[in-house]
Amino acid sequence: MTRIFLSFTLHLPPLWFCAIALQTASPQEDGIAERSGGYVKSNALKGKRFNSLSELNDYLARWNRTIARLRIHGTTRKQVYTHFLEVEKPQLKPLPPERFALFEIGTRTVHPDGHIQVEDAFYSVPYILVGEEVKVQWDEHLVRVYARDAV
């Protein structure tokens, strides 16, 4: 489980969902995979060109109302939108009031001058870490450096 995914699960209220780790390359353990992206590409967008994002959005909104919502799902054999309204929508909970702050993570080696580079900026760290590898977590507002399991 990645640090970003773990942070996201901790951002949500308890019991919103359960992350279940599966063994890699074990398709028998996987659930039914959603293929909505492929369905949209091969059905709504195949062979089409749009002159603007607004034109694309208008087309997809109309396609969703007149085709996608009305189709019968291949696995469940139920109308997609009816199934959503009756089964899935009642289970939805409101989003947390604050937005999840996305961040990036990486490792850096502390330079001989006691700095690490994150994107185009340099940050000083304790000189005792020169030559060591540290973990770094950053977003547009904050850089955190983890060394020897401490911030």
Q: Which residue bears the tokens 């850096």?
A: 108
Q: Model confidence over 48-82: pLDDT tens digits?
A: 999 999 999 999 999 999 998 999 888 888 898 99
Q: Yes or no: say if 104 and 95 are a contact pair by the CB < 8 Å rule.
A: no
Tokens of 65: 């109302």
Tokens of 141: 């507002």
| Model pTM score | 0.52
3-state DSSP assignment of residue 146 = strand
Q: Model confidence over 87-133: pLDDT tens digits?
A: 889 988 888 888 888 899 999 999 999 999 999 999 999 999 999 99
- What's the CA gap between 19 and 32, in Å, rounded? 15
